[in-house]
Amino acid sequence: MNTEQSESDLIIVGCGIAGLSAAVSALQGGLSVTLIERAPEADFGGNTRWTEAYCRMKNEREISDDFEEHFAANAGWHVDPNVLAVVSDPYGDWPAYVRAHPFPDPEVISTFAASVPETIAWLNGFGLRFEPQPIYLLTQNTTRIAAKGGGLALIERLMQEAKGLGATVLFETTAVDLLRDEEGRVAGVLTVAPDGRRRRRPSGATVLASGGYQGDQEMMTRYIGPKARHIRPVARGGYYNKGEGLRMALAAGAAPAGEYGSYHAEPVDPRSRQAEAVVFVWPYGILVNKRGRRFVDEASATVDAIYDNVTRSIADQPDGIAWVIFDAQVEDIPRWRTSIRSDQPAYEAETLVALAEQLELPAAELEPTVAAFNAACPPADGEFTPFVLDGRGTTGIEPVKSNWSRPIVKAPFRAYPIISANCFTFGGLKVNPDAQVLDRDGRVIPGLYAAGETVGIYHQVYTGSTSVLRGAVFGRLAGLHAAMTPQERRDAAE
Ligand SMILES: Cc1cc2nc3c(=O)[nH]c(=O)nc-3n(C[C@H](O)[C@H](O)[C@H](O)COP(=O)(O)OP(=O)(O)OC[C@H]3O[C@@H](n4cnc5c(N)ncnc54)[C@H](O)[C@@H]3O)c2cc1C
């Protein structure tokens, strides 16, 4: 047994939505809490500080109709039917390899989905509100509401609540390892203080809410490959998430979950210093790489459904960059400018050759690319309906463009450069429905919880607008579970 004096009942690594939700729910349950945060106080909150916090919901009480379905459809590549056959059995009967499987298991996802309304109601209790808000996506295939005041309002209010309930918050302090007792129970963390000194911080239990590894080039390269050199965090908060939480848990025997080789991608103007300087106008033009060639169907479905894949494919292009080329007909699209958040102007020219010169693209390639695309567009018939998939697909070219194909002919011709920015990485830890971290044999690692990006649930295409919810829900589940008495845990298990 650990004989060190605990400095608090619960240590939480990270002060984003996940860490703060864990903290406040644990404090409400009567635990003493220490929050460890690597950023200075003025910049705490990682990714959550920068998000508008869209949530895949119809309203504050109902999740979107496709919430669980989207997770099931993106459960991983070629999921073994033997695994799927087992998951309809009671959880207690699942074999170890299924409990520890990296896929988003239905027990975890159904708990996630079921817990969203009560978690939002809990946040409402602090005066936080969620409502429909304008978005940069001109076409959507699901329902979304967003936090009033964005993620910043969430973390500021929860931080105020945590401090009011007596939490100790250590800024500019980085957790670098887990403490374990002889029986393997996680018994706290090892931290590095602003002066570089290491300190053991024993605690009754630990929550890892330290995000993913988007801020760590070594892990990005290890898991995502050499193209990681072209991929940067979509906002400054991502630089704080360097993967220590994942590394220390994996070293302690935790099961990995989520797709380690992937990330949620956003199409961003590389010239801009702004957070989330997105450019989402490309379904109405074409995307070309630096060789002046198309490489992807720019409009296979609504933009919210495809931008993850399309944007990741940009990272695979030479130098990890593409340009959207469009023309003056864009003015037919109401609110088209809202799809662009870059503060940098479009490149603009009266001819394609002049545009190519500005972009430093080979005009001898760009011109034939556009000519071939134009020739493949269907004849214009009827009204152009930019917000409804119109089936106006190209014929005879590869790759096809499936919707909204109109010849690019009307000057001025315009372009924006786009890179594949990293919103967050998909690789995380496997947890059970109480946010307890599981080991590689599907057993609970005593004393260890994970929440938010540190929990791995995404594969293939991100189930959009669920990551803030993942933080709030699993953070709260961790805090609630950590605050339960042994008797309450036994009762809950029955
Ligand atoms: C611009 C932008 C827009 C987004 N839009 C949406 C959206 O609309 N809807 C949605 O659902 N999601 C969105 N996301 C994603 C979502 O915001 C995040 O995935 C989510 O907020 C992550 O919450 P978290 O608490 O897990 O991590 P974070 O908020 O990133 O917090 C992690 C914290 O851990 C700290 N930390 C990291 N390592 C250590 C360590 N070793 N020791 C101590 N502290 C450490 C960091 O400093 C940080 O404060 C967006 C993200 C960005 C950047």
pLDDT digits (tens, 9 = 90+) for 157-199: 999 999 999 999 999 999 999 999 999 999 999 999 999 999 9
Mean pLDDT of the chain: 96
Length of the chain: 494
* Pocket flag, ligand 1, residue 241 (CB < 6 Å): yes
User: Does the global pTM surpass 0.85?
Assistant: yes
Residues 209-262 have pLDDT tens digits of: 999 999 999 999 999 999 999 999 999 999 999 999 999 999 999 999 999 999
What percentage of residues in the chain have a pLDDT greater than 90? 93
Reported confidence tier of residue 493, pLDDT bands at 50, 70, 90: confident
Residues 403-443 have pLDDT tens digits of: 999 999 999 999 999 999 999 999 999 999 999 999 999 99
Which among 11, 35, 48 is the best mutation to test ligand 1's pocket, defined by most ligand atoms within 8 Å of the CB? 48
Reported confidence tier of residue 382, pLDDT bands at 50, 70, 90: confident
Of all protein residues, the one whose alpha carbon is nearest to atom 39 of ligand 1 is 210
Which among 206, 210, 425, 473 is the best mutation to test ligand 1's pocket, defined by most ligand atoms within 8 Å of the CB? 210
* Pocket flag, ligand 1, residue 215 (CB < 6 Å): no
* Pocket flag, ligand 1, residue 178 (CB < 6 Å): no
pLDDT of residue 491: 83
Phi, psi of 200 (to 5 degrees): -80, 135
Q: Which atom belonging to ligand 1 lies closest to the Cα atom of 15?
A: 49
For the chain, domains (ranges, CATH) are 8-262+426-493 (3.50.50.60), 266-421 (3.90.700.10)
Across residues 283-293, what is the average pLDDT?
A: 98
Reported confidence tier of residue 349, pLDDT bands at 50, 70, 90: very high
* Pocket flag, ligand 1, residue 212 (CB < 6 Å): no
Q: Of 59-68, 317-326, 483-492, which gets the smallest average pLDDT?
A: 483-492
Which among 341, 468, 477 is the best mutation to test ligand 1's pocket, defined by most ligand atoms within 8 Å of the CB? 468
Phi, psi of 484 (to 5 degrees): -75, 145
* Pocket flag, ligand 1, residue 423 (CB < 6 Å): yes
| CA 161 to ligand 1 centroid distance, Å | 19
What percentage of residues in the chain have a pLDDT greater than 70? 99
Reported confidence tier of residue 1, pLDDT bands at 50, 70, 90: very low
* Pocket flag, ligand 1, residue 234 (CB < 6 Å): yes
Across residues 373-378, what is the average pLDDT?
A: 97
How far apart are the C-alpha atoms of 431 and 105, rounded to whole Å?
A: 10
* Pocket flag, ligand 1, residue 45 (CB < 6 Å): yes
Residues 109-129 have pLDDT tens digits of: 999 999 999 999 999 999 999
